[in-house]
Amino acid sequence: MTTDNGSASREPAARDSGGRRSGWLMARPYGIPIYVTPSWLVIAAIITILYEPVVESLLGLGAASYLVAFVFAVLLYASVLVHELAHAVVARMFGIPVERITLFMLGGVTEMRGEARTPGREFLIAFAGPLLSLVLAAAGWAAQLFVPPDTVPGVLLWQLFVANLLVGVFNLMPGLPLDGGKVVRSAVWALTRRPTAGTVVAAWGGRVLAVFVVGLPFLLYLPSGRMPSVFMVLLGVLLGGFMWMGAGSALRGARFRERIPRLRVRLLARRAVAVPSGTPLAEADRRMAEADAGAVLVTDSSGAPVSIVSHDAAGAVPEERRPWISVDHVSRAVTGGAVIGADLEGERLLAAMRAHPAAEYLVVGEDGGVFGVLRTRDVDDAFAGI
């Protein structure tokens, strides 16, 4: 399964955004790092065990049947890798940086920094993977016609055909996070000129497909009156759960992006009251309430702001100690990165905050004068409920 979408290296294993290990670096084709997670070993073992009886019935190799069955597992994930590389190469053609490709138990994912700017590019990036998979499937099918089916080369070519056909057809299912869902999203985007509308339609398509995948093992066995195997039920639940979570993530991402243009520093910034260095916290509270302000700036002897009283640090001071605690003890210095313009909005605002993370920012107007204070928490609250 895909989303967005050499020799082993001794480079340290990759880590995800939370700092957790995400796989072993295996190669860098086209400069794109390829990682394989330990979960792949689990699914490879399962595929080998389940497919070995088929190989044995065709070739009668004895214990060597396990090796041929394992090759099928490798070919399946090699097909996923080629599929993901197709996404990555086309994305790079359109100037979208590719971070990495990761292969895991349920397939692969291509991590990109950025998104397609037009529905046409979205379609080409999404369709490139399934298209290449189907081309390789056709090549494998044509090649196996010229090789006896009861030989190792014949079985391997058949495996190549089946692996790429599975990857290509499955990923064309019309729902996110699959490539077919991205094709649907690009079509709705082109018709409505609203990428969010495309995401909503494709994500709900993905949720419908997720329910179908979970119920598919039972539907297949319904005519016979028998129950599906535990493995088929678990596989359906795993795939369906992955698809449901991927579709939900796409919906949240769409809602997030829809709110970004509404972010405006002038609307989010709090009015600030200035107090001299050394002012007791209780006195700062009084002045802030009197001015109906939402933040406190600490100034030097010339009246220039040098620090911002931390909302969290000040809130942790007990009421009885506030007359005796100076604002200097609960404030953060105003550095160059913690000063932003009042005209920032949308992506520009988020980019400025990502470049210099801080709990509070000093907001200045076009004339350089103090406009107020922006709290990161207020920006986060703008995305509440997503």
Cβ neighbours of residue 201 closer than 8 Å, sequence gap 6 or more: 184, 185, 188
Q: What is the DSSP annotation of 71-102?
A: HHHHHHHHHHHHHHHHHHHHHHHTT--EEEEE
**Three-class secondary structure of residue 178 per DSSP:** coil
What does the pLDDT average to over 331-344?
A: 92
Q: How far apart are CA 325 and CA 250, in angstroms?
A: 47
Q: Are 4 and 109 within 8 A, CB to CB?
A: yes
Q: Are 309 and 327 within 8 A, CB to CB?
A: yes
To the question of whether residue 356 is assigned a binding role by annotation, the answer is no
What does the pLDDT average to over 3-28?
A: 51
To the question of whether residue 179 is assigned a binding role by annotation, the answer is yes
State yes or no: is 360 an active-site residue.
no
Q: 265-381 sits in which CATH class?
A: alpha beta
Per-residue tokens: 256: 């997030």
Task: Give residue-wise pLDDT tens across range 313-333.
Answer: 999 999 999 999 999 999 999
Looking at per-residue pLDDT, the higher value among 243 and 21 belongs to 243
- Residue 12: count of CB within 10 angstroms of its CB: 9
Task: Give residue-wise pLDDT tens across range 224-237.
Answer: 878 888 878 888 89
Q: Are 372 and 363 within 8 A, CB to CB?
A: yes
Instruction: Give the global pTM.
Output: 0.75
Task: Give residue-wise pLDDT tens across range 44-72.
Answer: 898 899 888 888 888 888 888 899 889 88
Q: Are 255 and 386 within 8 A, CB to CB?
A: yes
Task: Give residue-wise pLDDT tens across range 138-187.
Answer: 999 999 899 888 888 888 888 889 889 988 999 999 999 999 999 999 99
Q: Are 1 and 7 within 8 A, CB to CB?
A: no
pLDDT at 153: 87
Least confident range of 228-232, 242-246, 300-304: 228-232
User: Beta strand 360-364 with 34-36: parallel, antiparallel or unpaired?
Assistant: unpaired
Q: How far apart are CA 176 and CA 178, in angstroms?
A: 5
Q: How is the chain split into domains, by residue range? A: 14-260, 265-381
Query: Catalytic one among 11, 52, 56, 84?
Result: 84
**Three-class secondary structure of residue 356 per DSSP:** coil
- The residue to which tokens 């390789």 are assigned: 136
What does the pLDDT average to over 186-207?
A: 94
Cβ neighbours of residue 315 closer than 8 Å, sequence gap 6 or more: none
Per-residue tokens: 213: 């995948």
Q: Own/partner pairs for 15-22, CB < 8 Å, 24+ apart?
A: 22/102
pLDDT above 80: residue 13: no
Q: How far apart are CA 222 and CA 217, in angstroms?
A: 9
Angle at which helix 179-192 crosses helix 119-144, to 10 degrees, equals 150
Is 321 buried (19+), middle (13-18) or exposed (0-12) by CB count in 10 A?
Answer: exposed
